[in-house]
């Protein structure tokens, strides 16, 4: 079933897009990840212009993170104060990211930047996930519990000024690290079309030492607003949000997530994580391969001016 | 009023004279199957049928020396061509060349291959064949965005690359032998309009050549535009970008909320 995308300006098979949305939604429901870091490269693989993939992907992230954030809100597992502080950084980061995106589009390097950022993150995250799940599988086979690695309770973070009390997280720390984390994730959100939970969650646990119970809810709360802003800004600055594409992705994602949540509660965690890690690694390597192999045609063409 | 009447009368007079002079050489009559292509959500490319008739002056005229060429060209826009070079092991866009007026679509069909129908001078003058279209004075930029000057042979490589890329996207088409004569006077040609075609005003020009010289030419307009929902969304996204963005994001948030409500029900 071919459908013509008004902003991407090309026809795609609606069923393929729906299936992609469903598959990524399934994985995101199963692993509790947003899935943006899988969807954007997939969209690029099937020929959607990278700019449109990133811009449109932000709407899909908004939809899935609203669903997640509402669930955590009902469970009261959101630290709104911490989320608010991170959001302040996230807004600044998102604006910076859009600016970088626009600048690189102008000088013709945006595709390269998206590819490089993805290669770095997909291989690093995929590699870490793979190592972790292999360790877990090995430990289970031997029957020994995993050692819980926790460093010293006090780190350099506690020496920073502008301290603030976060009651929900039971923390009294400087606002600088949360703002910086928010900022960094905001930049990534704007240039990668992702929510950034895969960076934010480890940072919140290991750097800020937030209780695990509030980490996911708080990151989702921040993601809703940062990606929302990113989506609006991509619309205004670059006109790269394709509502038709976004709609199909959201519908597929919502349906897929339902089944993903159920499957995730039934199946074995480590094996699935290893599978996801393999998928992520493969994608990173594929994108990386494209960067280092001589392209079929050294020359490429683009419209010089955004047409009005 | 009188002045308007006079200009009106003059205009009619001018048109009549033009028609008369045309009539003298009136050798070509053509039309398109469609003058408007609407891109709707099910658009997957289309074909335009172009048909016409050539008047035969005298019965013993040799058909071999007569050629018909059809050129359909789309709206011109500036296009940037970038060349990749290896930098630190990675292929990076390096030098670029921006051509000010590049047709977004260009199809040519003819009775015989172009090079045997007419000399290069004629083809260049009439801009027949994509190799003979003038893209305007190019502007070269180095990787850091600064202006630079590329040697002429390199510039030629960029032009070739531009045409090659457009051909690969099926936006530049040449179909020698694509015009089929049905008997002595009637001819027809089909022109492919691919799905990724740019929107805008197109012109379909039919040239009649005798002994390598253009003796008649007729242009007709062809309008390709998005239609229905596609048009609405495209216009909305470009004309009221802020509102479009807000609606897209709030719509997505609403979808997420509905999903959450549905999940709770079950």
One-character DSSP codes across chain B = -HHHHHHHHHHHHHHHHHHHHHHHH--EEEEES-SEEEE-TT---EEEEEEEEE--SSTT--GGGEEEEEEEE--EEEEEEEEEEEETTEEEEEEEEEEEEEES-EEEEESS-HHHHS-HHHHHHHT-SGGG------EEE-TTS-EE---HHHHHHHHHHHHHHHHHTT-EEEEET--EEETTTEEEEEEEE-TTPPPEEEEEEEEEEETTEEEEEEEEEEEEEE-HHHHHHHHHHHHSHHHHHHHHHHHHHHHHHHHHHHHHH-
Q: Work out how many CB contacts closer than 8 A connect A with B.
A: 191
Better-scored residue on pLDDT, A70 or A307: A70
Reply yes or no on whether the pLDDT at B7 is more than 60: no
Work out the percent of chain A whose per-residue pLDDT is above 90. Answer: 19
Structure token digits, residue B248: 């897209």
The confidence score (pLDDT) of residue B231 equals 86
Contacts of residue A251 in chain B, CB cutoff 8 Å?
255
Angle at A87 between CA A81 and CA A90, to 5 degrees: 155
Model ipTM over 0.95? no
Q: What is the mean pLDDT of chain A?
A: 83
pLDDT in tens, A72-86: 888 888 888 889 999
Structure token digits, residue B209: 């050549």
The confidence score (pLDDT) of residue A307 equals 40
Contact between chains at B84 and A6 (C-beta distance less than 8 A):
no
**A85-99, A156-170, A225-239, A249-263 — which is least confidently predicted?**
A156-170
Question: Can you tell me the mean pLDDT for A48-67?
Answer: 88
Contacts of residue A258 in chain B, CB cutoff 8 Å?
259, 263
Contact between chains at B93 and A108 (C-beta distance less than 8 A):
yes
Reply yes or no on whether the pLDDT at A223 is more than 70: yes
Reply yes or no on whether the pLDDT at A151 is more than 70: no
Contact between chains at B252 and A59 (C-beta distance less than 8 A):
yes
The confidence score (pLDDT) of residue A167 equals 77
pTM of the model: 0.77
Q: What is the mean pLDDT of chain B?
A: 83
Determine contact: B244 vs chain A, CB below 8 A.
yes
Q: How confident is the model at residue B16 (pLDDT cuts 50, 70, 90)?
A: very low
Distance CA B10, CA A174 (A): 83
């Amino acid at each position: 079933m071919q459908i013509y995308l008004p902003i991407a300006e090309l026809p795609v098979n609606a069923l393929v897009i729906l299936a992609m949305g469903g598959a990524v939604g399934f994985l995101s429901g199963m692993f509790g990840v947003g899935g943006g870091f899988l969807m954007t490269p997939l969209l690029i693989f099937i020929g959607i212009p990278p700019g449109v993939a990133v811009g449109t992907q932000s709407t899909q992230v908004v939809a899935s993170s609203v669903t997640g954030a509402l669930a955590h809100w009902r469970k009261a597992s959101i630290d709104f104060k911490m989320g608010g502080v991170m959001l302040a950084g996230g807004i600044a980061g998102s604006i910076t990211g859009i600016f970088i995106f626009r600048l690189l589009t102008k000088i013709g390097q945006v595709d390269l930047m998206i590819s490089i950022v993805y290669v770095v993150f997909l291989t690093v995250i995929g590699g870490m996930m793979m190592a972790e799940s292999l360790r877990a599988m090995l430990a289970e086979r031997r029957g020994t519990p995993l050692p819980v690695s926790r460093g010293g309770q006090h780190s350099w973070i506690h020496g920073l000024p502008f301290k603030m009390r976060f009651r929900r997280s039971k923390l009294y720390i400087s606002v600088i690290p949360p703002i910086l984390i928010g900022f960094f994730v905001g930049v990534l959100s704007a240039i990668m079309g992702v929510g950034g939970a895969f960076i934010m969650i480890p940072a919140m646990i290991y750097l800020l030492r937030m209780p695990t119970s509030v980490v996911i809810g708080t990151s989702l709360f921040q993601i809703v607003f940062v990606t929302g802003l990113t989506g609006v800004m991509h619309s205004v600055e670059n006109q790269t949000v394709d509502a038709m594409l976004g709609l199909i992705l959201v519908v597929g994602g919502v349906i897929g997530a339902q089944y993903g949540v159920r499957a995730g509660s039934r199946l074995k965690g480590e094996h699935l994580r290893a599978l996801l890690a393999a998928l992520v690694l493969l994608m990173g390597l594929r994108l990386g391969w494209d960067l280092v192999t001589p392209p079929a045609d050294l020359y490429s063409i683009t419209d010089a001016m955004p047409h009005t | 009023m009188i002045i308007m009447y006079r200009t009106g009368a003059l205009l009619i007079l001018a048109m009549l004279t033009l028609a008369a002079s045309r009539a003298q050489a009136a050798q070509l009559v053509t039309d398109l199957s469609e003058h408007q292509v609407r891109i709707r959500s099910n658009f997957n490319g289309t074909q335009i049928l172009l048909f016409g008739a050539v008047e035969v002056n005298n019965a013993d005229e040799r058909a071999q020396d007569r050629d018909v060429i059809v050129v359909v060209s789309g709206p011109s826009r500036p296009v940037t061509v970038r060349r990749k070079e290896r930098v630190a092991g990675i292929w990076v866009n390096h030098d670029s060349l921006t051509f000010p007026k590049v047709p977004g679509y260009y199809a040519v069909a003819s009775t015989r291959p172009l090079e045997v129908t007419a000399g290069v001078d004629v083809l260049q003058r009439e801009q027949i064949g994509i190799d003979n279209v003038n893209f305007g004075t190019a502007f070269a930029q180095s990787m850091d965005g600064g202006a630079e000057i590329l040697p002429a042979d390199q510039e030629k490589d960029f032009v070739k690359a531009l045409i090659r890329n457009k051909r690969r996207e099926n936006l530049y088409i040449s179909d020698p032998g694509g015009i089929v004569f049905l008997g002595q006077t009637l001819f027809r040609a089909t022109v492919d309009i691919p799905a990724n075609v740019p929107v805008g005003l197109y012109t379909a020009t039919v040239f009649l050549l005798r002994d390598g010289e253009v003796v008649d030419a007729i242009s007709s307009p062809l309008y390709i535009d998005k239609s229905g929902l596609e048009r609405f969304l495209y216009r909305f996204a470009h004309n009221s970008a802020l509102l479009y963005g807000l609606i897209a994001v709030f719509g997505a948030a609403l979808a997420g909320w509905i999903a959450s409500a549905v999940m709770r029900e079950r």
